Chains A and B, each alone.
Chain A
């Protein structure tokens, strides 16, 4: 990884799924996408346009059918499953619409879990997790479990989990869709500010017009596919 490497580069990316008849249907096509560290990109497109699929392929959760994805200068495409998992653990933070916190773990354990599977995790994760929870204003809720937290607090835990390990890239799939307008704005403010402090690029799927204007770049999916 070089210091000036882009957080994300995508070239000629293709992804399809078999339809019920077994024929392959292409749902995603991105010819070119570059995202520098510290920049923010909103992904828009109607439902079913492949936004979630794009995030999955970038994160290496799904393999690409064709094309290349590089995260902080390292190729994600062309790797086996385990190698993709490693790369994701090291350099990608993930934020979900439904937060996807584990309800039987405390806030601190949930945030720590975001760094547990890094190849050289060591003892740092717990310290970083505390710092991140402190940053999102939850230092007095470390031992709370998600059901004991408000929805807004849960999303802050999720933001802390996505950024605690200082990833080069944060992927967010409709992160504010489950929140009311006030909470959604607060949440987005927090995400963008925290990401900027960490020097992370943010790629977020969003439907919200008010949210859209907060991003520096925009990618619209579903046109021409």
Chain B
């Protein structure tokens, strides 16, 4: 019984190899579909993880009262979108002194240098915020962090590679997010370059918050500390469980700031992004299913030319189930060989692109084979069996006596 099954499997393999070109092409289409699914899934999972991890940096973000919570989170954590307004320095002072707060990081934003956002903040930010793997941003950096109140800057890896800025480079800042504004006369010196972290800070230039207000042409230059406007304050609590309490207090308190929960906002965002991703994943799966259909059609068409072969097998004692299994296995082999190749191709492409994605775009993708691949192989087995069903049925119903007489 077992030896017969092994023999049928061998026959199927020999049969697939007998048509090298058509087998190669059908397997290739399967491989491309699978590679596409793998790539899309990897990027999706990586984006999910990166967003979620970044959001974990702060339990609460204090933003201007008028902005939407999502806009506050996007502009503060991901440097996407403009900060929707300002909140007074006093709000930062108050939260900083709150005994429940472990760390409060002020942000002043609104300027760019050569297309890269300039963030006024404090050195502690590089310790509080982490990358997707939980490493602090300052880990593995070249040079050092800027000193409070000094005209020094820390740049992200993408900024460094795109602009050629390095330790010792000096630069002036133009006002406003749009380029082409009047360059300011103050100059900052780069004292540190972050390692590629896969976070928004790869694309940002950070300077001490006090020097941010020293920018002439700024809406509020040279003011007393208390009157300086902030874009946001990132807050790490001693216990994350306190965040709902802070949120509630903010709602009932003075309307100079609003508290938002980054984790909630990112979850909402992922729900939207997830829909788009799902669309792409469905397209990738359609490619794979089309590949399975091409297996079906290709195999079905071979049966006509293999009537004598099938009749001979039957004359030698093969049972209908053997013929059925033989053709089913051929479909399965094409599907799984193509699929295995596609998994390698997909993961290989992702692995090959990962350093570039991280270095030039600040996007970290997770390389590696996971449980998703097993699911994928399971789905391919089902697809292969489905693709083989009709050709196998045709083989099963091929008349024996009539086809034994055919010319060789």
Mark A residues whose CB is within 8 Å of B. 52-53, 56, 59, 61-62, 81-82, 85-86, 88-90, 92, 94, 96, 98-105, 109, 112-114, 116-123, 161
Contacts and interface: CB of A to CB of B under 8 A. Distances in A.
A85 B317 contact: yes
Which of B4, B8, B315, B321 has its CB near the most chain A CB atoms (within 10 A)? B315
Interface in B1-56: 1, 3-4, 7-8, 11, 14-15, 17-18
Interface residues of B, number: 31
Interface string B182-196: 000000000000000
A114 B405 CA distance: 18
B401 A62 contact: yes
Given A85-B318, A102-B309, A113-B316, 8 more contacts: A52-B405, A61-B314, A85-B320, A89-B317, A101-B408, A105-B14, A116-B316, A117-B319
Contact of A104 (B18, B308, B317, B320): B18
Contact of A98 (B11, B14, B407): B407
B322 interface: yes
B358 interface: no
Contacts of A102: 309, 312
Nearest to B306: A102
Closest 5 CB pairs of A and B: A89-B317, A117-B317, A104-B18, A116-B7, A85-B319
A100 B312 contact: yes
A23 B17 CA distance: 45
Nearest to A161: B316
Interface in B190-204: none
Interface string B70-93: 000000000000000000000000
A89 B401 contact: no
B14 A117 contact: no
Interface in B386-407: 400-401, 404-407
B317 A118 contact: yes
B3 A122 contact: yes
A176 B313 CA distance: 22
A56 B401 contact: yes
Given A56-B401, A98-B408, A100-B312, A121 B7 contact: yes
B400 A61 contact: yes
Nearest to B308: A100
A146 B347 CA distance: 43
Contacts of B405: 52, 98
A101 B18 CA distance: 15
Nearest to B407: A98
B408 A103 contact: yes
A86 B401 contact: no
Contacts of A103: 408
A89 B4 CA distance: 12
A102 B316 CA distance: 12
Contacts of B317: 85-86, 88-90, 92, 116-118
Contacts of B309: 102
